[in-house]
Amino acid sequence: MNLTEYDISHPYQAVVSSSERITPESTDEVRHITLNIASATFNYLEGQSIGVLVPGPHEFGNEYHMRLYSIASSRQGEGQNMSEISLCVRRCFYIDEVSGEKHPGVASNYLCDLKPGAKIDIVGPYGRQFLAPKDPESHLLMIGVGTGIAPFRAFLKHIYNERGDWKGKVRLFYGARTGMDKLYFNDKNDDLVNYYDEGTFKAIEAFSLRPHFDDPADLATAVKVHAAEVWEMLLADKSYVYIAGLSSLEAQMDEVLSEMAGSPEAWQDKKQDLIDEHRWSTLFYG
Ligand SMILES: Cc1cc2nc3c(=O)[nH]c(=O)nc-3n(C[C@H](O)[C@H](O)[C@H](O)COP(=O)(O)OP(=O)(O)OC[C@H]3O[C@@H](n4cnc5c(N)ncnc54)[C@H](O)[C@@H]3O)c2cc1C
């Protein structure tokens, strides 16, 4: 959906509770930002996003600059506090192809510069296409890069901390540029490490030395290494696939899954079945 089609007519005010850099200084800045939304009517599910409204004036006379951010908390709130949610935001910069100048991305820099106590307007939640299934026997195959980890953090907190009855296999393939860029798995913030003890959970990491933080890393290779398990999961009736991050990830996965299926046509048939059965969900940033 085009960003101009989102209904932003009913904003909520949120107050920044905390903002913590979760990557070391030596690499790209990503912040874990906690917002207090003391509004009883703001209900959301894991996998949904909010819109952040950056007040103007903006280029082209727009009153607001709105960008979407995945909610990184589960439905019971950040740290089980129902009035708080968290976001995982990468500070973006863009290079002007003509002048070569570096420009800050509007919303990501606005968010990353906010100090505790700052008030912001948010809208949403949006997106019901990226929700975890209810059946605890379901297998979840989660594939993500960079800040695409945010909805998966919410999923894991919900299924393991809040439900506690999850029996299906959960596999997280996660790509980052280097070990230092791992989000929620590094020494700045390691709250996903808790799930390593869960009988059903396994996280498989892949790193890339490519220049861009959100590049799909070497996830295709990581998936290939685990081909037998991945394919078995894809063939199971109760498996759900989630892909989050850059849209180029989908083409990479299509390539590697085509090899597993035997041909691109065989994979497209299988993928179409998964889509038709609402078991293939994607969340792409660009
Ligand atoms: C469903 C969804 C969920 C998302 N979740 C997250 C999340 O959890 N965490 C996260 O960090 N991001 C997330 N994003 C991405 C986020 O919405 C923003 O797109 C991102 O933060 C950049 O926005 P910005 O306002 O900082 O940059 P903008 O100012 O909007 O710039 C973005 C684009 O404009 C162009 N541009 C801007 N300025 C210039 C310039 N001066 N010169 C040349 N080109 C320029 C660039 O091509 C760039 O692609 C999500 C996106 C979607 C769709």
Domain ranges of the chain: 3-126, 139-284
Atom of ligand 1 nearest to the CA of 68: 17
Say which amino acid occupies 228: A
Q: Please list every protein residue whose CB sits less than 6 Å from any atom of ligand 1.
A: 49, 67-70, 88-90, 92, 94, 96, 103, 105-108, 147, 150, 283, 285-286
CB contact at 8 A, 120 and 14: yes
Lowest mean pLDDT among 77-86, 167-176, 181-190: 181-190
Q: Identify the pLDDT of residue 97.
A: 86
Q: Identify the pLDDT of residue 209.
A: 54
Q: Which of 267, 243, 228, 227 lies closest to 174, judged by CA?
A: 243
Average pLDDT of the residues of the chain: 90
pLDDT tier at 180 (50, 70, 90 boundaries)?
confident
Q: Identify the pLDDT of residue 8.
A: 87
CB contact at 8 A, 1 and 63: no
Fold exhibited by the domain 3-126: Elongation Factor Tu (Ef-tu); domain 3 (2.40.30)
C-alpha distances in angstroms, 271 versus 8, 140, 197, 279? Answer: 34, 15, 31, 9
CA angle 64, 43, 147 (to 5 degrees): 60
Q: Identify the pLDDT of residue 227.
A: 93
Hey, which of 28, 32, 94, 243 would you mutate to test ligand 1's pocket, going by the most ligand atoms within 8 Å of its Cβ?
94
* 99 SS3 class: coil
Q: What is the pLDDT of residues 188-234, one digit of tens each?
A: 777 888 888 888 888 887 776 555 655 556 788 889 999 999 999 99
Q: Return the CATH number of 139-284, one of 3.40.50.80, 3.30.930.10, 3.90.76.10, 3.30.70.360.
A: 3.40.50.80
CA of 235 from ligand 1 middle (Å) equals: 35
CB contact at 8 A, 194 and 28: no
Q: Which of 1, 274, 284 lies closest to 144, judged by CA?
A: 284
Residues β-bridged to residue 14: 120
Could you tell me which residue, 16 or 222, shows the higher pLDDT? 16
